[in-house]
Amino acid sequence: MPSNQSKTAAGALLLAIISLATHATPTGALVIKAARLYDGVSDHLVSPGVVVVRGTRIEAVGSAASVPSDATVIDAGDATLLPGFIDAHTHLGWAYSASYDQREMERMRKGAPEIALDASVWVRKTLMAGFTTVRDLGSTDFIDLALRNAIASGAIAGPRMLIAIRGIGATGGHADDFSGYRHNLFGREPGIEDGVADGPAEIRKAVRWVVKNGADVVKVHMTGGVLSLTDDIHRPQLTQDEVDALVDEAHALGRRTAAHAHSSEGARRAIRAGIDSIEHGTFVDGETLDLMETKGTVLVPTLMTTQGIRERLESESNLPAPIAEKGRAALAHIKTMMTMAIARHVIIGLGTDASVYPHGRNAEEFGHLVDMGMSPLAALKAGTSVDATLLGIAADTGSLERGKRADIVAVPGDPFTNIRQTERVFLVVKDGVVYRRN
């Protein structure tokens, strides 16, 4: 179980974090106009674009939508209205640091209250970048829980969060934060409260533990990680029986699942078990991608991870040699994997692994998806309606449709012509509230 100190720190954050957003809530209807609109589900732009919002919901959308007499009107001009973006893979409770040594020191030096105060800034940056919903796939000290609840209560500004509490994995694997340190440095061996479990029975208990403590989604580590010091990205870290137990237990409890998996065998075990998404997939082969296409498993390639690795390799002199070697291999192979995935019509969602790069740059993922061969249309769907379906919230958000949450962003120009316009968000509306308007 978590320590009393961790529970107290996480609970106190709901009262202690008072970084209130500057935002505007119209008293009547809100009407947003622009030269163009993309609804997130169709295959074309609408021109001109009009969205009518009343309260937290979309009342009408489309060129023919009428403007109510009590409306506050925002005319975005030569711009495109889009659904609020969704990032299916973040770590908003983890700090970014360009220095490996600094990051490791800060993990041990900073307590949960200080990290959570830092994170209240990171979630705001993410929202201002146009991301109104995220799936956060792992944190420590219940910081993700505190962030989710503080955002939902209106105490701080940030995206709607679905959280995992902790990723689950094997002793010595990617979930084991004690790996790479001398034995007993932390005075104990990691256990279920750290996301470490072995054998089907322990794995089921770990799933129940994260769900008991507030998890909306269950994440599993099937292979090593590029940025972890001691584990091999090419070797599976859970048996078939173990991942079968995890997916079965999570689905029985009404939770969707995500698998960190860089290579084929670990990914295939998760796919056979019925996992909902494969995260990263850097080295997976054609056979694995064929299985994903057959099963409808979503690939979330987190291309901003490779961007973050590239920047570290270019700038950091103290990156440990094993991590640098894995990073260079990932950069060399990611294009091959993406080309095969696109050719096989694997469902691709947008996720960034935020914290591997500086928070707030999430929208660069759209451009990376297009650089890898996706069309701007497919990339925009990945970060809106595809992600909403993956997260199980498509009835509520992910598209501009009547009755859905009023999550709206505006970007200059036409992102179908230049996908990088998604990096220039100047209007952000979440649940009918204007959080950003430049």
pLDDT at 56 over 90: yes
**Is 380 in the same domain as 364?**
yes
What's the rounded mean pLDDT across residues 146-151?
98
- Give residues with Cβ within 8 angstroms of 308, minimum separation 6: 96, 353, 356, 357
- Answer yes or no: is 165 within a domain: yes
Half-sphere exposure of 277 (CA within 13 A, CB side): 30
Q: Give a yes or no: residue 291 inside a domain.
A: yes
Write the pLDDT tens digit of every residue in 245-296.
999 999 999 999 999 999 999 999 999 999 999 999 999 999 999 999 999 9
Distance set, CA 334 to CA 90, 118, 224, 371, 388 (Å)? 19, 32, 16, 12, 25
Whether residue 181 sits in one domain with residue 62 = no
Same domain, 213 and 65: no
To 5 degrees, how large is the angle CA 267–CA 199–CA 258? 35
- pTM, two decimals, is 0.92
CATH number at residue 38: 2.30.40.10
Same domain, 359 and 431: no
Question: What is the average per-residue pLDDT within 421-431?
Answer: 98
Asked, for residue 8, whether it belongs to a domain, the answer is: no
Per the structure, the count of domains in the chain is 2
Out of 13-22, 165-174, 410-419, least confident range: 13-22
Residue 254 structure tokens: 């009404």
Does one domain contain both 90 and 71? no
Query: Is 264 found in the same domain as 206?
Result: yes
pLDDT of residue 101: 74
**Is the model's pLDDT at 209 over the cut of 80?**
yes
Q: Does residue 226 share a domain with residue 236?
A: yes
pLDDT at 199 exceeding the cut of 90: yes
Task: Give exposure, 220-252, as e/b (b: 16+ Cβ within 10 Å).
Answer: bbbbbbbbbbbbbbeebbbeeebbbbbbbbbbe
The answer to the question of residue 340 being in a domain is yes
Instruction: Tell me, yes or no, whether 173 and 292 share the same domain.
Output: yes
Query: Vertex 120, ends 125 and 315: CA angle to 5°?
Result: 55
| Residue 65 belongs to some domain of the structure | yes
Convert the pLDDT of each residue in 372-408 to its tens digit: 999 999 999 999 999 999 999 999 999 999 999 999 9
Instruction: For residue 21, tell me if it sits in a domain.
Output: no
Query: Over the stretch 8-47, which tens digit does the pLDDT of each residue have?
Result: 444 434 434 333 444 666 678 999 999 999 999 999 999 9
CATH code of residue 211: 3.20.20.140
In a domain, 15, yes or no: no
User: Which of these, 369, 370, 353, 404, lies nearest to 51 by C-alpha position?
Assistant: 404
What's the pLDDT tens digit per position in 282-302? 999 999 999 999 999 999 999
What mean pLDDT do residues 170-177 have? 84
79/96 same-domain check: no
Q: Single out the residue in 374, 391, 408 at which a domain terminates.
A: 391
Residues 46 and 170 in one domain: no
| 333 and 431 co-located in one domain | no
- Between strands 85-90 and 408-412, the pairing is unpaired
Residue-level pLDDT at 23: 66
| Enclosing domain of residue 306 | 85-391
Sequence-ordered list of residues with C-beta below 8 angstroms from that of 71, at least 6 positions apart, any chain: 26, 28, 29, 30, 31, 52
Kindly give the pairing relationship between strand 277-280 and strand 217-221: unpaired
Pair (92, 80) in one structural domain: no
Would you say residue 14 lies in a domain? no
3-state secondary structure the chain: CCCHHHHHHHHHHHHHCCCCCCCECCCCCEEEEECEECCCCCCCCECCEEEEEECCEEEEECCCCCCCCCCEEEECCCEEEEECEEEEEECCCCCCCCCHHHHHHHHHHCCHHHHHHHHHHHHHHHHHCCEEEEEECCCCCCHHHHHHHHHHHCCCCCCEEEECCCCEECCCCCCCCCCCCCCCCCCCCCCHHHCECCCHHHHHHHHHHHHHCCCCEEEEECECCCCCCCCCCCCECCCHHHHHHHHHHHHHCCCEEEEEECCHHHHHHHHHHCCCEEEECCCCCHHHHHHHHHHCCEEECCHHHHHHHHHHHHHCCCCCHHHHHHHHHHHHHHHHHHHHHHHCCCCECCCCCECCCCCCCCCHHHHHHHHCCCCHHHHHHHHHHHHHHHHCCCCCCCCCCCCCECCEEEEECCCCCCHHHHHHCCEEEECCEEEEEC
